[in-house]
Amino acid sequence: MAQEAGNKPNPEVLQQMYFSFAPAYALSAALQLNFFSHLATGRKTAADVAQAAQVSPRGAAMLLDTLAAFQLLTKKDPHYELTPLAAEFLVRTSPNYLGHSLEHDPPWESWSGLTKVIRTGRPDRRIEQQEKAEQFFSTLVRTLHVTHHEPARRTAQVLGAGASYHGLRVVDIACGSAVWSIAIAEADQQARVTAQDFPTMLDVTRQYLKRHGVEERYDFLTGDLKQVDFGHDRFDLALVGNIVHSEGERSSRELFTKLHRALRSGGRIAIMDMIPNDERTGPPFPLVFALHMLVSTEEGGTFSLAEYRQWLTEAGFVRVETADIGSHSPLVIGFKS
């Protein structure tokens, strides 16, 4: 926490924390109103953007100034320009557009009930239920495919796909866009992948597989991960990408046991998720995300590396390692004997 001279606490820190919602709302409003896309088409002034977006010139100017303050735009009065970050990720026509989920309000609707949820321990809505999951994640995975592309590529390298290992048999759990297994399939041209998810989600998966030209090397396992049969001694690698936080401890431990059975001798499980330190004092993002799971799921949360080691060991994995994949948290790898 910031301190004044003489180590006196600075109350401004609390005001800044309380107003930390403002950048998120400003970004979402700009996306909903297509401000970045209008700037990309040559509209340079607040008046031009206001006319294109059909909003008030005063409101447009204030929002554009705020975006410039957060370095999403540059300003040389009266003209605004996109920064490289905004041009790549916030313009609708960009192949790396991230606004599919950022332009919507539902996360804030859940967070508005945080006090009640903490009192009761029960969320008002559960995104892990099939109907809500298919609706919610069909949008979210389009954003996650972009943000996870580089960590997925590094994960494939760490796992030796196409280098130390060829012809991997892979199962991708609750695969979404299949960003993690696509990286494996691109690195290992002989790999064969089984993609598991809800029916509507697998429709989304197929779109991304076609885009990457790997659809012919995929099989599909439809259903809830809690209920589907992954078989015995079938796979060399199980990918669990950002699933544990929404499933929670009980379901995840059951999943690890099922995947241990499904892996061949020498097989590996690779887990990508938000991981706080063992003391649960940081980093902030995994701990804030745990609160997000509290307001969104029945049993979800974020879990420490010590917990993963215990759960994987009890599921039968003989060794657990970690690797840096250039993300907020390390890759966790469990090895079957």
Q: What's the pLDDT score for residue 137?
A: 61
pTM here?
0.89
Q: What's the pLDDT score for residue 1?
A: 47
pLDDT tens digits for 297-335?
889 999 999 999 999 999 999 999 999 999 999 999 999
Q: Cα(89)–Cα(146) distance, rounded to whole angstroms?
A: 9
Angle between helices 130-147 and 179-187 (to 10 degrees): 50
Q: Cα(246)–Cα(198) distance, rounded to whole angstroms?
A: 15
Rg (CA), the chain: 22
pLDDT tens digits for 111-121?
888 999 999 98
- Sequence-ordered list of residues with C-beta below 8 angstroms from that of 210, at least 6 positions apart, any chain: none
- Is the per-residue pLDDT at 133 higher than 70? no
